[in-house]
Structure 1
Amino acid sequence: MNRPGSVGLVVLLVLSSVLAVGTTASLAAGGPGDAVSTTPVEPQTGAAIAPQDSRGLLRQETREFDNTTFEIRVHENGSATWTFRYEQRFTDDENATRTRENFEAFAEEFRANETGLYDRFTNQSRELTRAGMQESGREMEATNFRRSVRVEDQFTPTGVVEMSFTWTNFADVQDDRIVVGDVFDGVPLSADQAIVIEAAGDLTFRSIEPDDAQYAGGSLTDAESVRWSGKREFIDGRPRVVFDRPDSAAIGDGNAGLLGGNLVPILVGVLLLVVGVVAAVWYRRYGPISDGESASDDAEPTPPAGGAATGAGSTVDPATDAADDSESIPNEELLTDEDRVVKLIRENGGRMKQVNIVEDTGWSKSKVSMLLSDMEEEGTISKLRVGRENIISLEGFEPEATKSPFEE
């Protein structure tokens, strides 16, 4: 699959925004004799364009802020509200007052005007959703842009810059669950960064990967959000979160009554109507049975089931025979993704490298990775890490741990 723009998918937007946001911190970095400027310095053009440079630059350009958090609030319809939150603490030192004054001067300009910082954020958000649409195949759009800046007087007064937007169809909505992760591609975090994924509405967490996230509550299902923080780099398709969907009766546009208790009498009425129509048709066709007809019917032998005839004159309906033959022919398009993977591995001797599965199916790395994780949880396949390769095996074809999995 062609994936232009999806390399470092999330990193691209984060980088573009942080390059600009990082300039605001320079307002607070000057000494007591420096002049106050409320105009953000323009970052060098092109620095946020090259995906191959994004990971290193991401770690560099947030150094002026104390903390950076990427909050993703997932809704029941699969859309998500993304909020980038940047914090700068006004520490209790000789420059704290000057630092706060400079930040408040920037805040006034940021509230009053759509600065270059905010324009870059909205443009890169739209680029990100377009890249995500190519990666996932879902229709996506960036909408509802918002910005805010304030000083929170906590134990340590902190300047906070937030920019957010709504990403439609961000998550994959399935029958019984909502899955987040297929648009992520090798997301890095630096020591002062964190990713937080929140459950909106009646969504509840079913599973998370990696499973070392922090959350409040006695269990994952009781948590309202999960958090990964500190220096690390996620593999493709991670972080991955699976939510349980609420009851369908709770979802809709005001027709919950129709989907709830009122549906039962409607179905009963429809069933009675169908039974009545069938009875009327039968009566019209066969009419009342007289005693003579009953005797005649009793004298006739009952034909074999299915209308089969005996004797030399018996025939077989060619259309029925052809239909049976067509049903016996396997149709590749009717196979599920799991069945296709199992069939492919079986055709290759019972085990394959994960990278070869990606090549043979033509699917993206993130899709194959998530699919194999689900299959491993279900016990369909097993995975063994050998060096930098994942070896995927069917039951009974697992390689020995003491030698190469493809050693004869």
Structure 2
Amino acid sequence: MTTVVVAVLLLSAVVPAAGALASSSPPAQFDGGAVHQQSVETDSVRLIVSVDENGSATWSVQYWTRLDDENTSDAFESLQSDIRSNPSNFSDSFASRMRSTVTAAENATGREMSASDFSVRAETRTPPEYGVIVYTFQWENFAAVDGDTLRVGDAIEGLFLDQRTRLVIEWPSSYALADVAPDPDERRDGAVVWRGSETSFVSGEPSVVLQPASAGTDSPGADGSILPLVGVGLLLVGAGVVAWRYRDRFGGSTPDSTGGEDTSDTDGAATADAGGTSTPPDDLLSNEERVIQFVREQGGRVKQQEIVEAFDWTEARTSQIVRDLREQGDLEGFRLGRENVLKLSETDDESED
């Protein structure tokens, strides 16, 4: 079987107002980079894959740009307005290319697949302030289902991650990680993360094997292998006024290689708050405990969108966790304009005094 190089294609072009896509440009890793000047630059790209129990997955492809000067902010506001006015100008070409990618993966794996529910939105997130373009879609049968075991990764074998791109694969709380290759750059409760600046995938990678949490995680399955695969071209593009490219940042207070402010502990050790109370490292906390801790650290009140950004969760996953916390009485919520604001319940506040 012939192996095809897997590529993340990030076109750098100013596209005419009519929304025509400059699709004739070759992949960046073949032509040496961007070939057109453009007005809004991307600092990082996040590929967030939320796998369901039936093997399907919700994909969120996020392009992050730091809004640290007036020109960049104005350019993003213009782009945001265009997306809101006519989102199909952006999502249609993305949908077309992703359907081609899914078809290639279907042929390679032998599993029937489809892509649907495409959408795009532009939003700002803080702190600090970023402009984020988010494409989402549903990939049916993305993972292989083998009895109670889910095998994730054969559909994107050998995926190329640019140095500023991160891949996040997350799974339902009813499943546990049985095996993963290569070792992720970060392990979370219900997710693994690879950063392009630290990881390169080879044949058979990435591979994530999941089993029901009650079944234990001692072995990945009968042989620990994943299906052989013809690599597929993962073409991530946005049609419309502008596509996105990367830019280098040196010195000063800059985002980490994935575009976000890195506030995690470097050694995983327990930390102490201002009062000297020891708090456990994040990998010992449940998702609910991590959210409560995060809200406390922000002064007891945050926008729900800040939780999405802080933990790289999908909005659906965040909403479920927040809903559980509200039902338990740990959080309270209210609307502030279009934003959903969360705050610690009075009972939780009193317990901290």
Aligned pair 1:224/2:190, yes or no? yes
Identity score, percent: 27
Which residue of the other structure, out of 145, 153, 156, is the alignment partner of 2:118?
A: 145
Task: Assess if the C-alpha contact under 8 Å between 2:87 and 2:121 holds in 1.
Answer: no
Instruction: Give the 3-state SS of the residue equivalent to 2:90 in structure 1.
Output: helix
Which residue number corresponds to residue 271 of structure 1? Answer: none
Which residue of the other structure, out of 19, 27, 46, is the alignment partner of 2:24?
A: 46
Which residue number corresponds to residue 87 of structure 1? Answer: 64
Instruction: Give the 3-state SS of the residue equivalent to 2:79 in structure 1.
Output: helix
Instruction: Give the 3-state SS of the residue equivalent to 2:194 in structure 1.
Output: strand
**Residues 48-127 of structure 1 aligned to structure 2 (within 5 Å):** 48=26, 53=27, 55-56=29-30, 60=34, 64-91=41-68, 96-127=69-100
**Amino acid corresponding to residue 171 of structure 2 in structure 1:** A
**Amino acid corresponding to residue 55 of structure 1 in structure 2:** Q
Larger Rg: 1
Task: Assess if the C-alpha contact under 8 Å between 2:186 and 2:192 holds in 1.
Answer: yes
Q: Go from structure 1 to structure 2 and tell me whether the alpha carbon gap of 1:213 and 1:40 turns closer, same or farther (over 3 Å shift).
A: farther
Matched positions, count: 219
Instruction: Give the 3-state SS of the residue equivalent to 1:47 in structure 2.
Output: coil
Could you tell me how far 1:162 is from its partner in structure 2? 0.4
Instruction: Give the 3-state SS of the residue equivalent to 2:84 in structure 1.
Output: helix
Instruction: Give the 3-state SS of the residue equivalent to 2:154 in structure 1.
Output: coil
Could you tell me how far 1:57 is from its partner in structure 2? 5.5
CA distance in 2, matches of 1:40, 1:237: 41
Q: Provide structure 1 residue ranges, at least 5 long, that are not aligned to the other structure.
A: 27-36, 217-222, 249-336, 342-362, 368-408
Which residue of the other structure, out of 243, 248, 251, is the alignment partner of 2:210?
A: 243
CA distance in 1, matches of 2:187, 2:32: 26
Could you tell me how far 1:58 is from its partner in structure 2? 9.0
CA distance in 1, matches of 2:56, 2:80: 29
**Amino acid corresponding to residue 116 of structure 2 in structure 1:** T
**Residues 136-215 of structure 1 aligned to structure 2 (within 5 Å):** 136-154=109-127, 156-215=128-187
Could you tell me how far 1:202 is from its partner in structure 2? 1.8
**Amino acid corresponding to residue 121 of structure 2 in structure 1:** S
Which residue number corresponds to residue 347 of structure 2? Answer: none
Instruction: Give the 3-state SS of the residue equivalent to 1:215 in structure 2.
Output: strand
Could you tell me how far 1:88 is from its partner in structure 2? 0.3
Which residue number corresponds to residue 233 of structure 1? Answer: 200
Moved more, 112-121 or 127-136: 112-121
CA distance in 2, matches of 1:59, 1:126: 25
Could you tell me how far 1:117 is from its partner in structure 2? 3.0
Q: Go from structure 1 to structure 2 and tell me whether the alpha carbon gap of 1:209 and 1:57 turns closer, same or farther (over 3 Å shift).
A: farther
Work out which structure has the larger RCO, using CA pairs closer than 8 Å and 6 or more positions apart in sequence: 2
CA distance in 1, matches of 2:33, 2:169: 21
**Amino acid corresponding to residue 152 of structure 1 in structure 2:** R
Q: Go from structure 1 to structure 2 and tell me whether the alpha carbon gap of 1:141 and 1:88 turns closer, same or farther (over 3 Å shift).
A: same
More helix by share: 1
CA distance in 1, matches of 2:136, 2:65: 18
**Amino acid corresponding to residue 53 of structure 2 in structure 1:** E
Could you tell me how far 1:206 is from its partner in structure 2? 1.5
Q: Deviations over 1:63-82 (max 9, x none)?
A: 93111111111110000111
Instruction: Give the 3-state SS of the residue equivalent to 1:78 in structure 2.
Output: coil
CA distance in 2, matches of 1:82, 1:365: 20
Normalising to structure 2: TM-score of the pair? 0.55
Could you tell me how far 1:116 is from its partner in structure 2? 3.7
Normalising to structure 1: TM-score of the pair? 0.48
Could you tell me how far 1:119 is from its partner in structure 2? 1.4
Q: Go from structure 1 to structure 2 and tell me whether the alpha carbon gap of 1:58 and 1:160 turns closer, same or farther (over 3 Å shift).
A: farther
Q: Go from structure 1 to structure 2 and tell me whether the alpha carbon gap of 1:124 and 1:81 turns closer, same or farther (over 3 Å shift).
A: same
Could you tell me how far 1:42 is from its partner in structure 2? 4.8
More strand by share: 2
Aligned pair 1:8/2:5, yes or no? yes
